[in-house]
Structure 1
Amino acid sequence: MRKFFFFLLCGLLTGSAMAQLPPAATAWLHGARVAVSLGYDDTLDSQLDVALPALQRHGLKASFYLQLSSPVLQGRLAEWRQAARQGHELGNHSLFHQCAGSLPGHQWVSAARDLDSTMAAQMADQVLLGNAMLHAIDGESERSYTVPCGDHMARDGDYLARIAPAFVGMKVGGGSGVTARAALQRRAVAVHAPVGLNGSELIALVRAAAAQGDMVNLTFHGVGGDYLSTSAAAHEELLAYLASHRDEYWTDTFRNIMRYVRAQEDADGHH
């Protein structure tokens, strides 16, 4: 299935299609035709050990979505603070990473952290508390949020409407992570979590975004270790490609990209 998806993407890019693409209707910052958000979920050691140094080498900024109860946050707090000082975003990924245990493949969800048994108001309180905790870590007052597992139906309904005003942007999951600019909704942006792809396959994802959309969100978990992992070599190859094509791809934190979108909405009179 993975290979099928890869070759399907490559099929979009045959011949000299990339060279013949028309200019983007509305350019991103610095005239780039595609905005690329690289995210890293779940507060993992390999993100500090492998992903962050690679991002620094290539001069790229990314978003790290922290599960605030994680021992990797508590044990390596100074390093997360340093990442924020280097211009990376510390995003909100909730206190306890509640997902819906009733959904297929979610047998790992513990009863104490099951979204199915969590009230929407309780979940909202926890997420907003997460913002206060993140402010104590990095001093920032504006956040973005990635919904754990893409699940947002609590025991008594959807909790996202309760927290949306507190975030400049939210990722909710779905599809290839490619979003057309005209269809972009800041608090419901699609994101794709690649697992086990090689460098060429990762590059194909962002090239497909240039062919069929205006923004692509990729969210990694482990990089060169941990779980749902992408190899360090594949990750490095993607970063090298993005760094060498800065005129086409604006790679930045999700928060900065959403701020740019909000500024354009405000200029156009949309809220």
Structure 2
Amino acid sequence: MKLHLAAALLGSLLCASGWAADAPFAWPNGARAAVSLAYDDSLDSQLDNAIPALNRHGLHGTFYLQLSNPAVDKRLAEWRAAAQKGHELGNHTLFHQCSHSKKDREWVQAHRDLDTTTVAQMKDQIELGNTMLYAIDGRRERTLTTPCGDLQAQDGNYLPAVQAQFLGIKAGNGPAVMPSMAALDTQAVPVAAPSGLTGRQLIDIVKQAAERGTMVNFTFHGIGGDYLTISKEAHEELVAYLAANRKTYWTDTFLSIMKHVRKVRAK
């Protein structure tokens, strides 16, 4: 059963209907694809396992902090040190509002239900999140990942109210490999959250991005612990592969990748 589910997830991460080939995108230093390694929810296993692995291999990732998570308060110095090492701290809202009405969302608490939260309330907490992140890392440029990929608040889609504050936003669910850089909306990049995959399966997804000349956008949660977990060994295998193939894959923060996409388009 686990193998069947992993295979099904792998297929969904690799495939999307109606993909069309673009002209090669101009990635830095002639790379064939860009890779965004992002991590949601400010989890302990990310500090314990993901950041040390990235640091060992000289790669930078993006960590989307749910600022109400106790791991932010208790381990604030470690998050600040991660930013000083070149990792991006992104906005994942204060309270991680998701829609309780969707399937398998029994875990959503009533006071954190997006269905009963207004657009104005989401805007307020996202703006405050940016202020809190500035207090941690001293940076103003920021990207956002919407919790659960959900956008529909009580009185409408909250994304238009906050888009101007961010150089890139992950919103909604979709494939890990971008089908088209020409069609990519930097303010609504699809979220793929792999769990239970092996290092080889993750690397196979990365290779698909190189074949297409686009980018792969991983949004992990637990690394060797917590939930929606990728094993520590699988993560290490992926990171080591990317480090050994820097000429092929440009691995950087989501902020850096979105800034580069905007720069290329401006030309």
Give the TM-score taking structure 1 as reference length.
0.91
CA 1:23–1:159: 2 relative to 1, 3 Å: closer
Q: Per-residue CA shift, 1:221-242, capped at 9, x if unaligned?
A: 0000111111000000000111
Structure 2 residue runs of 5 or longer lacking an equivalent are 16-20
Aligned ranges 1:1-271 → 2 under 5 Å: 1-4=5-8, 6=10, 25-179=24-178, 180-212=180-212, 214-267=214-267
Structure 1 stretches (4+) deviating beyond 3 angstroms? 4-11
Mean Cα deviation higher: 152-161 or 176-185 = 176-185
Q: What's the offset of the Cα at 1:266?
A: 2.6
Structure 1 residue runs of 5 or longer lacking an equivalent are 12-21
CA separation in 2, counterparts of 1:265 and 1:23? Answer: 14
Q: What's the offset of the Cα at 1:261?
A: 1.3
CA 1:114–1:237: 2 relative to 1, 3 Å: same
DSSP-derived class of the 2:173 partner: coil
CA separation in 1, counterparts of 2:71 and 2:14? Answer: 37
Give the TM-score taking structure 2 as reference length.
0.92
CA 1:41–1:5: 2 relative to 1, 3 Å: closer
The CA RMSD measured in Å over matched residues stands at 1.9
DSSP-derived class of the 1:183 partner: coil
Q: Which amino acid is the alignment partner of residue 97 of structure 2?
A: Q
- What residue is the counterpart of 1:14 in the other structure? none
CA separation in 2, counterparts of 1:239 and 1:73? Answer: 24
Q: What's the offset of the Cα at 1:168?
A: 0.2
Q: What's the offset of the Cα at 1:25?
A: 1.8
Q: Alignment identity in percent?
A: 57
CA separation in 2, counterparts of 1:121 and 1:230? Answer: 35
CA 1:262–1:45: 2 relative to 1, 3 Å: same
